[in-house]
């Protein structure tokens, strides 16, 4: 076999191989385009869903904020307050708008109000912290769930 004959056979073998590679590249580019299209669709769908959740969240917040505080408490608590206000004392003065105890002074009322406000602020702070912790846990769960096994 002459060197020129060997060289021409080698070129003949390379042409089909390069043609196969080009075809594979084209197939892969097609798959990549489909995947990119799918990702774009998912991102658009996700943003639409997020907008819907934000709207629904605002509706729920508006609904809760417009509710009277008494409407959100159970009836058992209302009955308990009613019993306490009928029995008299300092707590009865707090639950009703009338002074039913002679020991209830303006100073005592302000002191009780300050303590109740401190309890409320502490509870709100704890609730905010718990909400942030729940959000963090949710994000961590989402990360773990999205990782390939």
Look-up: residue for tokens 């306490």?
Answer: 84
Query: What's the rounded Cα separation, in Å, for the pair 96 and 109?
Result: 13
Read off the pLDDT band of 111 (50, 70, 90).
confident
Query: What's the rounded Cα separation, in Å, for the pair 60 and 33?
Result: 40
Cα–Cα distances in Å, from 81 out to 60, 69, 94, 105?
A: 28, 14, 10, 21
Is 93 or 42 the better-scoring residue by pLDDT?
Answer: 42
pLDDT at 36: 94
102 three-class SS: coil
The pair of three-digit structure tokens given for residue 106, joined into one six-digit string: 């303006």
Is 123 or 93 the better-scoring residue by pLDDT?
Answer: 123
Task: Supply the DSSP symbol for 94.
Answer: H
pLDDT at 7: 59
pLDDT in tens, 114-138: 888 999 999 999 999 999 999 999 9
The percent of the chain in helix, strand and coil, each rounded to the nearest 5, is: 85, 0, 15
pLDDT in tens, 11-28: 656 667 888 899 999 999
For the cut 60, the answer to whether the pLDDT of residue 2 exceeds it is: no
pLDDT in tens, 32-55: 999 999 999 999 998 898 888 888
Domain boundaries, the chain: 1-66, 72-104, 105-149
For the cut 90, the answer to whether the pLDDT of residue 82 exceeds it is: no
């Amino acid at each position: 076999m002459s060197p020129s004959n060997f060289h021409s056979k080698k070129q003949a073998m390379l042409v089909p191989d390069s043609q196969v590679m080009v075809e594979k590249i084209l197939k892969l580019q097609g798959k990549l385009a489909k995947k990119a299209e799918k990702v774009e669709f998912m991102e658009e769908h996700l943003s639409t869903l997020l907008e819907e959740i934000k709207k629904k969240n605002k509706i729920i917040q508006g609904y809760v904020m417009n509710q009277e505080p008494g409407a959100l408490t159970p009836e058992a608590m209302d009955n308990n307050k009613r019993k306490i206000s009928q029995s008299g004392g300092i707590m009865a003065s707090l639950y009703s708008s009338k002074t039913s105890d002679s020991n209830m002074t303006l100073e005592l009322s302000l002191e009780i109000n300050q303590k109740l406000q401190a309890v409320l602020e502490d509870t709100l702070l704890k609730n905010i912290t718990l909400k942030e912790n729940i959000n963090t846990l949710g994000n961590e769960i989402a990360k773990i769930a999205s990782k390939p096994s």
